[in-house]
Amino acid sequence: MVTERTPASRARRARRPSPTERFLEEHENTIEKVVSGATGTGGEAQLFTHVGAKLVVLYFPTTWGWEAREVPSTNIRMCIANGARYDCGDCGGDCSPDPMNPQFNNCSGRPKFATRQCPVCGKLIYDFGARHVNAELVATEEINPSRAADAEGTLIDDGSSEVSTPATRTKADLDQHIIAYHRTEGQIRGLDMRILGPMLPGT
């Protein structure tokens, strides 16, 4: 018995698009209209309309895991070709859909980071120095340029007497954040305001 294949049966046997291909089909080169407001010289409100490439969330590999970032829809194919993903590579799900307000510890696919919270603005400071996360993306041995220059073997290694912990790493990052964005608070706390030089705009 010979079975004739109809166009419908051939269509069913056609290759189904991958999740990435479906993502590209849905989001690539999409545009959006953004309406923003401003106050004119006379105090009246003015609205401005801008049409441009829609921002799309993609995930990029880092030394500690996959980080969500927004990219223009016109660039997502290039980003994916260079290693980005449409979903989190740690948990395979959309664990942090808002790159402007990331909650890195929401991801169930990696260990949670130790955190500190800024006493001024509430920003969470994460211990990204915990380099065991996604260890395959980190070099197994860090190169010390000064050690290579020590041909006599007399160079003292200060690193051997220093202890790096989640507490010390996040404290250093929090101090840097306060110095950069909360200058008055930094002065009250006695932080060295010379670290970042002159006051940054908007701080």
pLDDT tens column, 5-25: 566 555 556 778 888 889 889
Separation of alpha carbons 24 and 76, rounded Å: 8
Q: What is the pLDDT of residue 202?
A: 40
Alpha-carbon torsion angle 78, 80, 82, 87, nearest 10: 150
The residue-averaged pLDDT of 101-126 equals 89
Do residues 116 and 125 touch, judged by C-beta distance below 8 A? yes
Quick check: 136 pLDDT over 50? no
Quick check: 138 pLDDT over 50? no
Q: What is the pLDDT of residue 139?
A: 40
Under DSSP, is residue 192 helix (H, G, I), strand (E, B) or coil?
Answer: coil
Quick check: 53 pLDDT over 80? yes
Strands 124-126 and 115-117: antiparallel
Q: What is the pLDDT of residue 99?
A: 83
Picking from 130, 128, 121, the residue whose alpha carbon sits closest to that of residue 177 is: 121
The structure tokens listed for 87 are 């979903």
The structure tokens listed for 7 are 């166009």
pLDDT band of 199, cuts 50, 70, 90: very low
Separation of alpha carbons 144 and 159, rounded Å: 11
Separation of alpha carbons 98 and 57, rounded Å: 8
Q: What is the pLDDT of residue 75?
A: 93
Separation of alpha carbons 123 and 115, rounded Å: 10
Task: Indicate whether this model's pTM tops 0.75.
Answer: no
Under DSSP, is residue 67 helix (H, G, I), strand (E, B) or coil?
Answer: strand
- The two counts, helices (H) then strands (E), for the chain are 6, 6
pLDDT band of 151, cuts 50, 70, 90: low
Q: What is the pLDDT of residue 72?
A: 93
* Other CB atoms within 10 Å distance of the CB of residue 48: 9
Picking from 44, 45, 20, 48, the residue whose alpha carbon sits closest to that of residue 34 is: 48
